[in-house]
């Protein structure tokens, strides 16, 4: 009985020590992780809006028009002279789990670009959405997210219509297209409010964050299929 109590006390001490160690590690690494995430965001925003010099958090003022797509964050992107557009970070469900995209929308309601930030669909299939060397239009070397650049948020966004799907990955293609469409619509609503003088930034936005020059980055992800197409 005494040995059991002793063993329990020893295990409790080790558990407490482990928790304390994790807390210390988190406190040390959290600022670095936050800084890396901010740098990554600045890079992506600069890629979508090359003339950007700053951005302002407007997340609290932007809502999703579809309950299956979540607006993670939203930013009013600006140059030294004037606003350039809105960037929306949105998440929805794809073939093998959540997918997160960053969608840029200009003041004229056209899409300036789409970045795949997170995708876990099968490599070689749905994962090709984040493969910079996979083209849905080989002749013009257009990637899946690249085909959205220049489209207007009022377009149909219909896979196999005005959107070219990834081969054998219809589910992924439709899921990502839906995220782009909803994010674009949300940006459009906020821009309309801004034009009418009704848009307000997030209460926590504070001073605008300075944009930084982009760094080269790439990512690959993935998607499994039981047939030729999903």
49 φ/ψ angles, rounded to the nearest 5 degrees = -130, 85
- Where on the phi/psi map is residue 103: left (φ > 0), alpha (ψ -120 to 50), or beta? beta
34 pLDDT above the threshold of 90: no
**Position of tokens 């579809």?**
66
Per-residue model confidence as pLDDT tens digits over 171-192: 999 999 999 999 999 999 999 9
Give percent of the chain above pLDDT 90: 64
Q: Each residue of 90-138: pLDDT tens digit?
A: 999 999 999 999 999 999 999 999 999 999 999 999 999 999 999 999 9
DSSP state of 154: T
Q: Cβ atoms within 10 A of the Cβ of 22, count?
A: 10
- Single out the residue of 63, 78, 84 nearest to residue 185, CA to CA: 63
Residues 140-166: what's their mean pLDDT? 98
Mean pLDDT of the chain: 83
Q: Which residues is 100 bridged to in the sheet?
A: 91, 118
Give DSSP secondary structure letters for 165-195: PPTT-HHHHHHHHHHHHHHHHHHHHHHHHHH
Position 143 scores a pLDDT of 98
End-to-end CA distance of the chain: 60
Rounded to two decimals, what is the model's pTM?
0.75
Tell me how far apart the alpha carbons of residues 226 and 219 are, in angstroms, rounded to a whole number: 25
Sign of dihedral through CA atoms 138, 151, 222, 215? positive
Q: Distance between CA atoms of 52 and 56, rounded to whole angstroms?
A: 11
């Amino acid at each position: 009985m005494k040995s059991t109590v002793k063993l329990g006390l020893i295990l409790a001490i080790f558990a407490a020590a482990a928790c304390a160690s994790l807390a210390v590690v988190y406190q040390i690494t959290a600022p670095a992780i936050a800084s890396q995430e901010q740098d990554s965001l600045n890079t992506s925003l600069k890629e979508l809006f090359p003339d950007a010099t700053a951005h302002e958090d407007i997340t609290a003022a932007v809502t999703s028009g579809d309950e299956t797509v979540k607006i993670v964050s939203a930013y009013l992107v600006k140059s030294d002279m004037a606003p350039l557009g809105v960037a929306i970070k949105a998440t929805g469900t794809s073939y093998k789990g959540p997918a997160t995209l960053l969608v840029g929308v200009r003041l004229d309601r056209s899409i300036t670009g789409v970045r795949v930030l997170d995708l876990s669909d099968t490599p070689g299939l749905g994962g090709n959405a984040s493969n910079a060397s996979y083209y849905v239009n080989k002749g013009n070397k257009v990637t899946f997210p690249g085909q959205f650049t220049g489209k207007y948020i009022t377009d149909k966004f219909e896979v196999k219509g005005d959107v070219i799907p990834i081969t054998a990955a219809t589910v992924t293609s439709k899921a990502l297209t839906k995220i782009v469409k909803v994010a674009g619509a949300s940006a459009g609503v906020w821009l309309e409010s801004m034009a009418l003088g009704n848009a307000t930034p997030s209460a926590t936005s504070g001073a605008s964050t300075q944009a930084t020059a982009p760094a080269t980055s790439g990512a690959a992800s993935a998607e499994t299929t039981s047939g030729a197409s999903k």
